[in-house]
Structure 1
C-alpha cells in the first residue's frame, strides 16, 4: 500500500526539492536563493505534496487586490505531480489545500489557466468543480 500524500506550505528549507520538481515540470532550473526569497517575500503560496519523506508534487497560488474589484482575486498558477505519484489523489489534495489557504486570506474566486490540449489537467480541474470557460489567452515577451 502506498503512503498517503500529505500537503503543507513549502518553506525555504524545501528549495532544493522545489527546484528538482520544477525542473521535471518545465525544464527551468531555478537557483535555491531565488526560491527561498520568493517563499518568504511574496504573496505566492506554494503547496508541497509529500509521500513518506519524498516531495512528489507542488502547486502555486497567488492572491491580490485590484482597484477594479471588491474582493481579493486568486489564481492557481502552476501545478505538477511527479509521474510516480499521479493517480494517487495528489493533484486534488494540492488543489484543496491551496483553495483553503486562499479562502482563509479572503479570496472568493479562483481562476487558473492550463493548456487547451492538456486533457488530464482539465479533467482534474473539472472533477474539482472548476468550470471551463472560453477566454483567449495572449502573452508577450518583454
Structure 2
C-alpha cells in the first residue's frame, strides 16, 4: 500500500503532539516525583494524654495520590474514624480508605494518646 510523502510528516507530528500532551499533563507522576505526599504531626494539647493533629498532604499539583499507606506503629483504630485513617496491620495504616487525595489536598485528624511515630510508607500517583 503506497503512502503519500506527507504520511511520515503526519506521523511525526502526531507523535510529537502526543508526547507533549503527556508531558504537560504530568502523566504517570513524572512531574510529581519530588512532590511526594507528606505526613506532619503536631502536638496541639499538653494534657494527659496529650493531643496531636496529623495532616497528610498530596503535594503534587497535577495528579491525585492514591492508596497512601503510612507507617503507624501500633496505632489504635479506636482513636480515629476508619474512613480517614484505617489500621490494616501493625505499622500499616491507609489514608482515606485508599481513595484519591486530589492535587494539593490535605486530610487531617486528631487523636489523644501518647505520640505514635508516623511516616510515609507507599503511595501512587493517578494521572489521566
Which TM-score bucket, shorter chain as reference?
A: under 0.3
TM-score by length of 1: 0.25
Tell me which protein shows more strand as a share of its residues: 2
Larger Rg: 2
TM-score computed with the length of structure 2 as normaliser: 0.27
- Higher relative contact order (Cα pairs below 8 Å, separated by 6+ residues): 2
As a proportion of its length, which structure holds more helix?
1
